[in-house]
Structure 1
């Protein structure tokens, strides 16, 4: 890295020699980029020094490399290794709160690299190092890292990747002789799948033992006890140890646990039980070291008192069902003799948040999340975390990142840091060099004398006809493209298998439904009439269930065999992120997405390993589409520079109206209830109990105001937005107290009398209705 400084100097001299005014026009910006690189050298040097001088850091680094070696990774990409080593000082600072590296924990590090370049592995390596170092510094239990994804599909795809790595790390931990890692009082490494919204059960309770059991709980209980239907909850399809798809979902009635079990007789996991928890209540009870979930789950801070467990606020452990707060988290566990009431030594809350696809936290979702993010930081301080939580994010498209970090996490724009920084020239840096061969081919199409609807149908049919025609060519046929591969040979078949699936992206579900109908009614019969195989049509939209999404992705990842020779995947914007399949290499756009970042992300679903082809079909009646078609080549030349800044405003006037009820309940359930040491903290849900605590002076409105001002970051307001929020907090809290003290009109819970009610999801807003011109450009349609 130090030798690369000379490249910066040489390139500067070349620029100055070629353009006399270059220094005045670009010198300052060039200096800024070079200082970023100098800071990367400094951090890498510091991390390397700690590996040499700190025995715990060195051992954690060695075990991290051993974990990835077992996963068949033989080398790191340069930026991955430097990122990992550069994160070590901030992690090691946890064992030295007064040391020189503490300042690094306030920095928000954003891994910015092209899609498919290895961002996920970079932050996974950091997570694994953090898990090992936590055990070595004396943390025996509790969550280490919480990885959050904006979309359900992202979580589903990434869970297998995280489970693979953490599962191997657990095997490495179990095999090490150091008692800090493998001692009898040390919890193992595990993954918690924390999604909800139908992704997995919130809890499993025998309805016959719970008179308040909901209809959903009864359905869950029925499904749990059916050996076939509970396989729908399979969230990991491949054993991290055996690398085989020999996983079944089983139910352990004694522990009330939904298990992923490998049936291979020589599986290295005890009894084949994979270290993964997929039920929300199990995540609370067993506190896996890594949580993988959607950002929406943060809304649970205002609805679920068990959330405090994730942040390290634990009273003890039930001998059967895991950790608890106040009482056992498993409703049907009533034997108090099982409760070990002493707090667990070495148990603490998370010290790392990882946010994937940072650019998706925008508009309403980003604003609501920003309020819960800063409240989370208040909760961690309340739970005893002495240092700021470390935040790592990743994105393949980003602009104005400092402002987004400021609004999202309440940290200064100067505390936002992108890695790796820019190089001295476009397309070249110390970490990577842009090669000339293409990764994706973009083709722009606009219909003439036909609608875009008919053009897309024809395009899908022609594409699959061509692929199937190439599949039936034999060794005696000539290669129609003049390449070196022999038709019908093994390499020929393997290459074609990577192109048997097409992906069509729709801006609206209505158009997707119409194309689906005509594919089944016209295209498939045409193929069958000509002796070709039918297309298997699948949909991935916001209404597709998590179980169905899992089945579709699992099937698409398998080689095409037998009658399933072609797949046509129809999708909306949910496909834009988190679908990493080598067998998706052909894509069709039904119109131009509204944002350039969306177009980049969506088209990046293809061409990840093999060269992909993208057909962008434009609406002839839309002026914007016609402009994109006219400047198609120039637009793609500057595609990366056209990414829009993320639209987010923490101080949006109406946002506090939606988030304040939830954060008010969060202060009540997560902070004040736990401070009270009440024998049954669940009473703080109840309106009559809270009313009594207000009347006897145990709860005061000033307590809520103080915590909420910290949560929103308005303790010492300096801007008009901050002052407005501060006034709103004080007004609303007094109003909430008046409502609590007033006759309830039959309400039993505090949350029932708040208007609006606490959010149950950060997307808990009215559904947006997109409107656009019809295909003829004559009228607006919804």
Structure 2
């Protein structure tokens, strides 16, 4: 079976499980049907609300446009009154049509107890003939009188009518569960056809007052229209144009097509060919020019298309203008390699070395992959994806020349998850590392590149990938005398000390503990040799030679236990003290770690704030969209210190970033860094084509299923939802014995730790019971392994994360295979486990960006992913997403919300400005950087004046409205610091920057959060919330 067929088998199985009927149109089941099927049930009416709801006075529709066009927010109050109850008795949809009449088809089943068998229920199919409804009709009964179709319409100008059709259970409740089960309608749905006309699209409410970005979204998604809105149900419609039918769908599904990267054929994509830039300069330059010309031809086609588009204001012109600018910048990058001066010769050599390093790294990664998969080893010819090479060319001029016009521009790679963004910016990083070493020689020492992430799991994974590039550069250095002269290359992991050791002593102690442990816990995070893939540490206590670390004169050196090039030592540092002592070429860090700048004077070394080390010239910010809300706000104000220190040390770093989902990028980047932004690739005039990427066939991609249970508790709903998904491999194996692993591991994704905890408990008890109950008497039915589920949250011990990733990679035949991964948003970014293909999303995530990122974790390999989104009927936001399921999923990226950061707001100043000021003054002033030298600051010095200027410049660039308030607060802080320093000196006391634990009488400039007994500014040790979660209980309650 091909992947698409396997996915269809699973969809059919889940449909039978959630909606029914499992056994066909005349099935017999052993449980009450209302306790068996989660969706599609219309219960007998328990109130008189239906009749009241049909009153014309209760119909409220907002006309939001001058032409009277409805929007997809319009709905009838009578639907809400009957749809929001625990046991809904109706479902409905609304359409806009010019048709004079409608044809409606209804479909449902009923169940009755089999006489003499109290526990057996038999189904009867009750599909009706087509019902023709003329203009003005209000009510039509079905043939069996068990259901009634109610119609309400309103004239909408120009012969159009806004019509709501509701299918209602015509029977009344008997207040007896068994009798009501017989009086209910199951698998209920209907379809409406426009006779003599068509169904017209709704107008979106956000299109009424669009800004430039919304204008462009309307243009790009102009072919993704809304033709029906569900009420208490989802709606679907005719994919052809004109649209002639719409229908309710209780279990909606939609395939989001795969995003395909353009598979270029240009020889310029071959890294081996690009590495010939010095030996065949003219040939390589010509091939690069031809590569850019192919894109330029496409932009001209876009220009011609834009001229034909009307009704979109200036949106088409702006889109094409950005494409033309990108072409020009790529040509600047090529020109950088094609001049005859010394600078261009250096650039050509750096480009050649970068291509060689990336080629070597890609070859080694492919070799590792083949070994892991048991495939035959063979030579490969690594190539760039077209967008990767284009991005490198686009950024080269502004990266190599700190005086370039675009140096201050943040270049943002905007490409779908899994598209290869990491390799694109690593290629640029390799170019800059070699260029700086070739240009400056020993003066180019220090950290050249800082890559920053928001989540430690993502940081650790990306550290492993980046370390492979550094290893490739080190291999080149050992083999090539030309590269050897450039000095060592290294990489450092700079994250929290709960994850990696902060000092050499802590590292030695941790390693000694590891050697004595029966089940060694890795305190160094790196689990595999980044070069050969060999395991660095044994799973069980072993001979010390099998451990990938050694104690070298009180310093821990990581090494590969295998006989590879790095047996004696890896070019990797994970101990803070080592990173400060000799700043690595690349530092991989969490953004949160930069909160240490006020407290750790040695940390400034990686920013160039120590003699002998040049400041970084390239900063890479991964997953930019995660820098939003409180975290983004705090990162934004601390960026004044980070960029300020680098600037004061003579640097002007190039900044690149990456994201798969973003809106209002210009506002976010300006708030974070006070810089303008350029997205790459620039969007095309259609959402599914940016030249560098297109969408695949409509039937190939990730399948989304919407599940909003009725009259079921959340606990019961999750059990059935998960149970059905966990049974899918058994069902699939009946068709294809090789397919068991395709959907074996189910990821359960949650929006909160509370819901995560509920699911963990359910998996351990109820889900196991469900699987046993539905094993159909088979002894070999699915059983959950002991130790499941695997939990992946921010509360999991950092030392266990690498092992968790390893276990998720294991196939179903392994004893370490995982049945269920219970996760929070920790999983939503950077996790790349290609065998994961099945996910249950418990509740609509808070943002569309998170939804896209989280669900993109499944279906990244050869198996098409399946995502079941469980909506809670009592949550208005969940309900809205369910009712608009098709509309939402056909244009997911259109629904991404703008991100918000306000680093210079009053609350942010109070929380973070003291820390930023201390960081700048302490890092830039050698004479008062010591722990107990805060009283020695010279407030008339250039250091203090520069700190004030750097902060003022930052707020002016980011949010000039706040400049006056920030300057006033800044002066207040400096005055307060000066007064306290004078008091300390007059008393003959020292003033520390930070109080030591247990010395309550010691004078200090700052204090810890919650330490109300001391004087001093509160400076947070973390950029995240400092609120702790505590367990609570009520006395007398069990």
Normalising TM by the smaller chain, what interval? 0.7 to 0.9
Match of 1:730 among 944, 960, 971: 971
Contact in 2 for aligned 1:303/1:758 (Cα 8 Å): no
SS at match of 2:831: coil
Contact in 2 for aligned 1:658/1:756 (Cα 8 Å): no
1: CA distance, partners of 2:678 / 2:489 = 29
Which residue does the alignment assign to 2:644?
378
Match of 1:746 among 1001, 1009, 1013: 1001
Matched, 1:586 2:838: yes
Which residue does the alignment assign to 2:153?
none
1: CA distance, partners of 2:397 / 2:569 = 35
SS at match of 1:524: helix
2: CA distance, partners of 1:537 / 1:576 = 18
Residues 468, 638 of structure 1: alpha-carbon distance in 2 compared, 3 angstrom cutoff: same
How far does residue 644 in structure 1 lie from its aligned partner after superposition?
A: 0.9
Match of 1:407 among 658, 664, 671: 671
Residues 14, 382 of structure 1: alpha-carbon distance in 2 compared, 3 angstrom cutoff: closer
Contact in 2 for aligned 1:701/1:737 (Cα 8 Å): no
1:477-510 Cα shifts (integer Å, max 9, x gaps): xx3xxxxxxx33xxx2xx5424221101112212
Which residue does the alignment assign to 1:52?
338
Paired residues for 1:456-495 under 5 Å:
456-471=718-733, 479=735, 487-488=736-737, 492=738, 495=739
Contact in 1 for aligned 2:508/2:551 (Cα 8 Å): no
2: CA distance, partners of 1:510 / 1:554 = 26
Which residue does the alignment assign to 1:213?
none
2: CA distance, partners of 1:15 / 1:390 = 33
How far does residue 658 in structure 1 lie from its aligned partner after superposition?
A: 1.6
Return the structure number with greater strand share.
2
Which residue does the alignment assign to 1:284?
580
SS at match of 2:726: helix
Which residue does the alignment assign to 1:268?
565
Matched, 1:577 2:849: no
CA RMSD of aligned residues (A): 2.7
Which residue does the alignment assign to 1:660?
913
Residues 308, 174 of structure 1: alpha-carbon distance in 2 compared, 3 angstrom cutoff: same
How far does residue 192 in structure 1 lie from its aligned partner after superposition?
A: 0.5
Residues 155, 714 of structure 1: alpha-carbon distance in 2 compared, 3 angstrom cutoff: closer
Which residue does the alignment assign to 1:671?
924
1:18-46 Cα shifts (integer Å, max 9, x gaps): xxxx34x3362222211211111111112
Residues 205, 7 of structure 1: alpha-carbon distance in 2 compared, 3 angstrom cutoff: closer
Matched, 1:497 2:741: yes
Paired residues for 1:236-255 under 5 Å:
236-246=526-536, 249-255=547-553
SS at match of 1:146: strand
Return the structure number with greater helix share.
1
Which residue does the alignment assign to 2:111?
none
Which residue does the alignment assign to 2:752?
508
Which residue does the alignment assign to 2:603?
307
2: CA distance, partners of 1:12 / 1:511 = 50
2: CA distance, partners of 1:7 / 1:667 = 48
Residues 314, 754 of structure 1: alpha-carbon distance in 2 compared, 3 angstrom cutoff: same
Match of 1:149 among 434, 450, 453: 453
Matched, 1:707 2:947: yes
Match of 1:202 among 487, 499, 502: 502
Paired residues for 1:38-437 under 5 Å:
38-53=324-339, 54-70=344-360, 71-72=362-363, 74-94=382-402, 102-140=404-442, 141-178=445-482, 181-183=483-485, 186-205=486-505, 220=510, 223=513, 226=516, 231-246=521-536, 249-265=547-563, 267-269=564-566, 271-315=567-611, 343=612, 347-385=613-651, 388-411=652-675, 415-436=676-697, 437=699
1:372-399 Cα shifts (integer Å, max 9, x gaps): 11211221122232xx211010011111
Worse overlay, 4-13 or 190-199: 4-13
Contact in 2 for aligned 1:452/1:619 (Cα 8 Å): yes
Match of 1:635 among 866, 884, 888: 888
Matched, 1:533 2:779: no
Contact in 1 for aligned 2:295/2:327 (Cα 8 Å): no
Worse overlay, 718-727 or 227-236: 227-236
Worse overlay, 591-600 or 759-768: 759-768
How far does residue 699 in structure 1 lie from its aligned partner after superposition?
A: 4.3
SS at match of 1:504: strand
Worse overlay, 42-51 or 353-362: 42-51
Alignment length (residue pairs): 676
How far does residue 237 in structure 1 lie from its aligned partner after superposition?
A: 2.6
Which residue does the alignment assign to 2:704?
442
Contact in 2 for aligned 1:658/1:758 (Cα 8 Å): yes
How far does residue 146 in structure 1 lie from its aligned partner after superposition?
A: 0.5
Worse overlay, 724-733 or 506-515: 506-515
How far does residue 109 in structure 1 lie from its aligned partner after superposition?
A: 0.4
2: CA distance, partners of 1:16 / 1:517 = 59
TM-score (norm 2): 0.62
How far does residue 257 in structure 1 lie from its aligned partner after superposition?
A: 2.9
Contact in 1 for aligned 2:720/2:770 (Cα 8 Å): no
Contact in 1 for aligned 2:410/2:657 (Cα 8 Å): yes
Which one has more relative contact order, counting CA pairs under 8 Å at least 6 apart? 1
1:131-170 Cα shifts (integer Å, max 9, x gaps): 1212211243210111000111211221111112221122
1:727-777 Cα shifts (integer Å, max 9, x gaps): 0111122123333444687215433466443221111443699xxxxxxxx
- Computing the radius of gyration over CA atoms, which structure comes out larger, 1 or 2? 2
1: CA distance, partners of 2:512 / 2:940 = 45
How far does residue 700 in structure 1 lie from its aligned partner after superposition?
A: 4.2
1:333-374 Cα shifts (integer Å, max 9, x gaps): xxxxxxxxxx4xxx4121111001111111211111112112
2: CA distance, partners of 1:261 / 1:468 = 43
Residues 47, 243 of structure 1: alpha-carbon distance in 2 compared, 3 angstrom cutoff: same
1:233-273 Cα shifts (integer Å, max 9, x gaps): 242333233233355655544443333321222x112x442
1: CA distance, partners of 2:570 / 2:521 = 15
2: CA distance, partners of 1:580 / 1:109 = 24
Match of 1:518 among 747, 750, 762: 762
2: CA distance, partners of 1:605 / 1:36 = 31
Contact in 1 for aligned 2:674/2:954 (Cα 8 Å): no
1: CA distance, partners of 2:953 / 2:461 = 35
Residues 668, 714 of structure 1: alpha-carbon distance in 2 compared, 3 angstrom cutoff: closer
Worse overlay, 292-301 or 365-374: 365-374
SS at match of 2:522: helix
1:443-464 Cα shifts (integer Å, max 9, x gaps): 0001122123212112222222
User: Please, which runs of 5 or more residues in structure 1 have no aligned partner?
Assistant: 207-216, 316-342, 474-478, 480-486, 770-782
2: CA distance, partners of 1:139 / 1:524 = 64
How far does residue 51 in structure 1 lie from its aligned partner after superposition?
A: 2.5
